[in-house]
Structure 1
Amino acid sequence: MRFAAELHLTIPGADPGVTPNDSGLPGLAVVKEIVGALLTWGLVACVAGLVVSVIIWAVARQQGNYGYASGGKTGVLVSAGGALLIGGANAIVAFFSGLGGQI
């Protein structure tokens, strides 16, 4: 029990002093370009999903097919939510990174 008590007292005060940096690994600029391209592709996919979902929603509603109309509505919401999350990815990560630094 004595060892556990000593371990408990020493770990919370230990700070390794590690912080993110831009010079730690080579190729960081390439990785940033790839992630930026993935963000672009994701937004393009959200626009395409939104357009297709609105068309399905409108046509299904006009034809009285409420099952497909409901699916179209769901597609609109999913596409809009995806665009919101992709567009805000940097802000979301920065927010939670800042919270994690306060722990």
Structure 2
Amino acid sequence: MDIFPDFGAVGGADDLRAIVGALLTYVLIFAVLAILICAVTWAISSSSGNYQSSIRSRAGVLVAVGAAVLAGAGVAWMNFLIGVGQQL
């Protein structure tokens, strides 16, 4: 029996790549902006002795770095999956 699904019938991989790439670009831009704001706040609050603000700013930097890493990994993962899907 030669029964296989027709993967060529499903289109729109280029559109999906463009849409997801644009959304992840916005995520990366906002993550870098959050890193800058939180890092400046962390430096100012550490130098002024405000430990509560310093701890929250440090957590903000770590969350923003994590978001940037996940967004960058998301682009690579999506490109990999689209490439595998086109080879099937």
CA contact (8 A) 2:46 2:54 kept: yes
Identity of aligned residues (%): 30
Larger radius of gyration, structure 1 or 2? Answer: 1
Aligned equivalents of 2:8 and 2:55: distance in 1? 47
Structure 1 position 29, deviation (Å): 2.1
* Unpaired stretches in structure 2, ≥5 consecutive residues: none
**Corresponding position of 1:31:** 16
On the 8 A contact 1:46/1:80 being kept in 2, the answer is yes
Structure 1 consecutive aligned stretches of length 4 or more whose deviation exceeds 6 Å: none
Instruction: Give the conservation status (yes or no) of the 8 Å contact 1:22–1:28.
Output: no
TM-score, normalised on structure 1? 0.63
Aligned to 2:51: 66
- How has the CA–CA distance of structure 1 residues 81 and 66 changed in structure 2, closer, same or farther, with 3 Å as cutoff? same
Alignment of 1:83-102 (within 5 A): 83-92=68-77, 94=80
1:46 maps onto 2:56 in alignment: no
CA distance in 1, matches of 2:8, 2:37: 40
RMSD value over aligned CA atoms? 2.6
**For residues 46-101 of structure 1, what are the alpha-carbon distances to aligned partners after superposition, in whole Å with 9 as ceiling and x for unaligned?**
10000000011011111111111001100111111111111111445659xx9xxx
In the alignment, is the contact (CA less than 8 A) between 1:46 and 1:79 conserved in 2? yes
What is the total number of aligned residue pairs between the two structures? 79
Runs of 5+ consecutive residues of structure 1 not aligned to the other structure? 1-15, 99-103
Larger relative contact order (Cα-Cα within 8 Å, sequence gap ≥ 6): 2
